[in-house]
Structure 1
Amino acid sequence: MDLDWLKDFLALAELKGFSRAADARNVTQPAFSRRIRALEDWIGTPLFVRGAQGASLTPAGQHFQPLAADMIRSLERARRDTRSVGERNTITLSIAATHALSFTFFPEWIRNHLRFEALGTLSLVSESMEACEEIMLGGEVHFLLCHYHPEAPTRFEPDRFQSVRVGDDCLVPLCAPDSGGRPAWPLSDTSARPIRLLAYSHASGLGRILSAHQMSRDAIAQMEAGFTSHLAATLMTMAREGHGVAWLPRTLAKHDLEQGRLVGAGPPQFDIPIEIRLFRSPDCRNHAADELWHALAQ
C-alpha cells in the first residue's frame, strides 16, 4: 500500500470528481484512476460509486475516510519526529516557501537578513501553497514565506500564527505580444475570439487570491480555460509561448517584461496588489528563528 493512495483517496472524497482530484494531486487522470483502483484492490472492496456526476463514497468508503486521515497524520508525525531527531544538531533554520518566491524573492531577501557564516545550516522547502500549509501546520518548519491578500483565506489562525509583511508584489495579467508588440490576447477585446486562460490549480495560493478578487473573477468567468498548473513558472512559459493569459507575480515575470517577451493583457484595474508575508510557526522554535523574527520585528 502506497501513502499516495491514501492522499488520492481523501482528495477524491473531498472533490468528488476524478479530473478535479487528479489536478489537485498533480497527476494525470488515468494515473490517478489507476491508483484509486489499486487502493480498492488492496482493501478488497469498492470505495467509490462512479457516475456521470462524479464519484461518491460507498458505505465502505465512508468508514475508511476518517481512518485514512488518521493514518496519514500518524505517518507524517512519525516522519517529522524522526527527522527532527536526525537533524537536531545540523539544521539551524527551516523555511517553507511557495515555488514562485523560492526562485525570485527568497535568495536576496535571506541574504539581506542573515549572515550564512553565523547561521549554520538553512533548509528551504519549495512547494505549492497547499503543501506549504500542511508542512507549517505539522510543525516541520520555523517559517512560511508566501504571497498574501487579506481577502484570500489561509489556514493560519491570526491568534496562533504571527506574521509580518516582508515585501510587496502584484499579480498582473500577461500574455505574449503580437507582431506589432500589442497583447496577443487583449482582455479588452473578446469580440474576435474567446480569451484563453492559463489557470492556477486547486493547490495554488495565487489561484485563491484570483478567486477572491472581484475584478479578476468576473474577467475569468468570461474566459476559456486552456491550461492549468499550480506552478506560476509553468504558466509563465505557456504565456510566453502564446497560449493565453496568465495572472503572474510581477517579481517572477520582471525579466520577460523587460525583454518584451510578455506584455500586459489588460488595463491596470485587472492588476492585484499583494503582499509577500512571512508566517511564524508556534510549534517549531529555536534561537536562530527567534533572532530572525526579532530582526524583522525591528
Structure 2
Amino acid sequence: MENRIPSLNWLRVFEAAARTESFARAAAQLHMSPAAVSQQVRALEERLGTPLFVRQAQSVRLTEAGRAYLPPVQQALMTLESATDVLFGASRGQGLYVQSVLIFAHGILAQGIADFETRHPDVSLMLSTGNSASDFHHGFTDLKIIFGNPHAYGAESDRIMGECLVPVAPPEIVAQIAQPSDFLKFPLIEVGTHRSGWVQVLEELRVMPGRRQMVHADSTVMAMAMSRAGRGIALARSPASDLDVSAGGLTPCLPEFSVQGSEAYHLVYDSLRGLRPPARQFRIWLLDWVAAQGWP
C-alpha cells in the first residue's frame, strides 16, 4: 500500500503559504524563493491529487480541500515542534509524557495539575488521553494511568484509587424512582468495558433483573451524555465522574446509595528504577495528592 504521508518540507511550505495567503510572503518567512514555494506546493497537490490553492495575481486563497487540510497540518507541526523542544531543546530531560484514561484526566488530574506545576515548574508535562486498550499500546509515554488490570499495560504499577458506582439521571427521571424496582422502568445505560456495572448494582439493591432494557455505551463520559439526553439511567463512577455529573445536571437516583466498584485506577510503568527524574516526581506527587483528597 502506497504511503500517502507527504514530505514534511512540503507541509511546512503549505502551512506558511496558507497562513500568509501569499507564496511571496511564505518564501520570505522560509528563506526560499517564491518559485521554490510554488514548486513545492504543486508537488504536494500532485501527491494528494487535488488543488489546495486558487492562484490569483498577487495572492492565493485556499480551496475547500485546503481549508480542511490546514488545521491538522498545523496541529501536527506544532506537536512535532513541541516534542523536539522538550526532548532536545533547552528543557531536554525535563519533558514528561503521561497518558491517562479520559475520565481520570478530566475529572481528577485537571483538578491537580496546577499544584504539580507549581511544585515542579521545571517539568514540562505533556498529557494525552485514551479510552480503549489499543490507545495505550502505541507511542512513547513515561507513565500510563489506566483503569482495570495494570498487568496488561506494564510490568510495575501503583494503585491510585478505586471508585463508587452511583445511579444518576436527569431530575425528571429521578422523580419517578421511589424504590429500587423502579429502575427497571427505564433503560439502563451500561459501559461494557467495566466489570462492575448494573448487574452488581441490581444485586446490591436486591432487585431481580427481570426484563430490564440495557443500552450500551463505550465510556462513562458517553453514558452520562446519553443520560443527559433522556436516554436512560447511567452509572456515575465517583469521584472521577463527579464533575461531569454536576455539570450535566444529573442527580443520584437513590440518596446515599452507592456500590464499591471492583476495579481501580493504576499508575503503570515498565520499571520504577528506570523512571526518568520527572516521572519519579510525578509519581510521588500523584500518589500523595490523591491520598490527601481522601478518595477510596
Q: Which residue pairs with 2:181 in the alignment?
A: 188
Task: Single out whichever of 288-297 and 236-245 deviates more from structure 2.
Answer: 288-297
Change (3 A) 1:255 1:113: closer
Q: Distance in 2 between matches of 1:127 and 1:116?
A: 26
Q: Which residue pairs with 2:222 in the alignment?
A: 234
The runs of 5 or more residues in structure 1 that have no matched partner are 4-83
Q: Which residue pairs with 2:214 in the alignment?
A: 225
Q: Which residue pairs with 1:163 in the alignment?
A: 158
Q: TM-score, normalised by structure 1?
A: 0.52
**CA deviation string 1:224-277 (max 9, x = no partner):** 123x22232221121122211111123355357558932223475652357864
| Contact in 1 for aligned 2:166/2:257 (Cα 8 Å) | no
Change (3 A) 1:115 1:247: same
Change (3 A) 1:267 1:97: same
Amino acid aligned to 1:182? A
Q: Which residue pairs with 1:16 in the alignment?
A: none
State whether structure 2 residue 96 is matched by structure 1 residue 106.
no
1:127 Cα deviation (Å)? 0.7
The CA RMSD measured in Å over matched residues stands at 4.3
**CA deviation string 1:171-209 (max 9, x = no partner):** 211112228x6146964226xx643121214xx4xx233
Q: Distance in 1 between matches of 2:241 and 2:285?
A: 29
> Superposed, which structure 2 residues align to 1:140-179 within 5 Å?
140-147=140-147, 153-156=149-152, 160-165=155-160, 167=161, 169-178=163-172
The runs of 5 or more residues in structure 2 that have no matched partner are 4-82, 289-296
| Contact in 2 for aligned 1:236/1:253 (Cα 8 Å) | no
How many pairs align? 202
| Contact in 2 for aligned 1:171/1:274 (Cα 8 Å) | no
**Correspondent of 2:188 among 197, 200, 203:** 197
Change (3 A) 1:276 1:157: closer
**CA deviation string 1:90-116 (max 9, x = no partner):** 671111111111212112223323437
Change (3 A) 1:120 1:112: closer
Amino acid aligned to 1:170? C
Q: Distance in 2 between matches of 1:195 and 1:213?
A: 17
| Contact in 2 for aligned 1:200/1:232 (Cα 8 Å) | yes
| Contact in 1 for aligned 2:98/2:127 (Cα 8 Å) | yes
Q: Distance in 1 between matches of 2:207 and 2:102?
A: 25
Larger Rg: 2
State whether structure 2 residue 276 is matched by structure 1 residue 286.
yes
Q: Distance in 2 between matches of 1:220 and 1:96?
A: 40
Q: Which residue pairs with 1:208 in the alignment?
A: 195
Q: Which residue pairs with 1:124 in the alignment?
A: 127
Amino acid aligned to 1:209? S
Percent identity of the aligned residues? Answer: 14
